[in-house]
Chain A
Amino acid sequence: GAVVSQHPSWVICKSGTSVKIECRSLDFQATTMFWYRQFPKQSLMLMATSNEGSKATYEQGVEKDKFLINHASLTLSTLTVTSAHPEDSSFYICSAGLGDSTEAFFGQGTRLTVV
């Protein structure tokens, strides 16, 4: 089956620094990937749609200058949290679809803690 891998699984960083999270489709190519954010005991909230070779599409209320998304290849999308603050601490999850399938495959998530 389709496998999506995120790296790192968890990261702790100091306030004011930037953190990069990678999302890879291991056995398929994904022209589109999606980034979600999940707060404790809450549902997944879509942050942005990452499009290979073009700019990401951000959801309303998500700061594009703070959450930089790059989708430079068909198997890799990155999310960079710039100038991180404690309120950015969360669980970040990416997903990708396989071709025209509507099924989504999810990464294992990255837990970011900003201290």
Chain B
Amino acid sequence: AQRVTQPEKLLSVFKGAPVELKCNYSYSGSPELFWYVQYSRQRLQLLLRHISRESIKGFTADLNKGETSFHLKKPFAQEEDSAMYYCAPSSGNTPLVFGKGTRLSVIA
């Protein structure tokens, strides 16, 4: 079965501290992995995807197929990073399977 685990429901860090949002997945085949972010009162939007290997807003995520993980990291958290973060695998034109999400709160 397709499953995404985001173990932390809430993660609070101080501004400037490193942050890591964990994601483990169970998915048949070779899915593409995404991180989506939902800022307060805004729609869900793509943050980054593993195939692009980009750093978006200072965030990076490395796909570890052996551990089936796709943890999201940022070395220095900013207040504007406070949001809900969802990890999601997808394969082709299939619906995204979302984790339960992690609410990141960056404290000034």
User: Which residues from 1 to 56 on chain A have a C-beta closer than 8 Å to any C-beta of chain B?
Assistant: 31-32, 34, 42-46, 49
Q: Are B101 and A95 in contact (CB under 8 A)?
A: no
- Closest beta carbon of chain A to B53's beta carbon, Å: 15
Nearest chain-A residue to B102 (Cβ)?
A43
Q: Given the complex of chains A and B, what is the CA–CA distance between A43 and B97 in angstroms?
A: 10
Q: Is B49 an interface position by the 8 A CB rule? A: yes
Q: Are A109 and B43 in contact (CB under 8 A)?
A: yes
Q: Is A100 an interface position by the 8 A CB rule? A: yes
Q: Given the complex of chains A and B, what is the CA–CA distance between A44 and B97 in angstroms?
A: 9
Residue numbers in A under 8 Å from B93 (CB-CB): 31-32, 97, 100, 102
Residue numbers in A under 8 Å from B66 (CB-CB): none
Q: Are A106 and B90 in contact (CB under 8 A)?
A: no
User: Which residues from 81 to 108 on chain B have a C-beta closer than 8 Å to any C-beta of chain A?
Assistant: 86, 90-93, 95-101
Residue numbers in A under 8 Å from B8 (CB-CB): none
Measured CB to CB, the residues of B under 8 A from A are: 32, 34, 36, 42-46, 49, 86, 90-93, 95-101
